[in-house]
A and B are shown apart, each in its own frame.
Chain A
């Protein structure tokens, strides 16, 4: 198990929220965060591709598994972030707790 689990724990809190995952190959997928694991692999439900005309092959894909290593950004809902709790957790993690 990895020692640094701040983002893993943080993503677990976001399960059920709508996020947009932008991949390193420029594909962007919006969906409901279903689950995340220690590698930050992401499973999304009810997905739709952001630029559908450019990626017609994903038309009937409604659930997908995204390998953590290919994620560039995860765009979060503005009200999905409690910045203070995140700051505290980061300070704690940095202190080596």
Chain B
């Protein structure tokens, strides 16, 4: 096993993904789907016809966003969507934005409640 020199780079470039429909996962957990139009060395990305796919449990909703420029430091993963495969599991139900926002709020309230209950129980010090 020799250490490869600078001449034989298997370069990591997003050029192969240009004009393709991609899924971009951001640091804040948001998932954007759009067509890659441009990128640079910082993974700054331009997505055309972008939508935000919100998923709560079995429900999902696609919010249209338009033309987006994403700053590279927020990018976690850029995935190439296989157009022949189903993007989502078949049991998921598409709903309107108002309903998904309600579901998101319900999920947030539930996790907050779990958090506060846990804090209340912690002082009991079960062995």
A59 touches B10 (CB 8 A): no
B14 touches A70 (CB 8 A): no
- Closest B residue to A70 using CB positions: B76
For B42-60 the 0/1 string (1 means CB < 8 A from A) is 0100000000010100000
Partner of B79, one of A15, A42, A64, A89: A64
- Closest B residue to A36 using CB positions: B12
For A46-83 the 0/1 string (1 means CB < 8 A from B) is 01000000001111111111110110000000000010
Q: What B residues does A65 contact at CB under 8 A?
A: 12, 14, 17, 43, 77-79
- Closest B residue to A15 using CB positions: B10
B80 touches A62 (CB 8 A): yes
A41-B12, A59-B85, A62-B82 known; A13 vs B76 contact (CB < 8 Å): no
B82 touches A67 (CB 8 A): no
Number of A residues with CB within 8 Å of any CB on chain B: 34
Would you give the shortest CB distance from A63 to chain B, in whole angstroms?
Answer: 5
Q: Does B61 contact A (CB under 8 A)?
A: no
Binds A, one of B86-94, B100-108, B109-117: B86-94
Would you give the shortest CB distance from A6 to chain B, in whole angstroms?
Answer: 8
Q: Which A residues are closer than 8 A to B by beta carbons?
A: 9-10, 12-13, 15, 23, 25, 27, 29, 34-37, 41-43, 47, 56-67, 69-70, 82, 85, 89
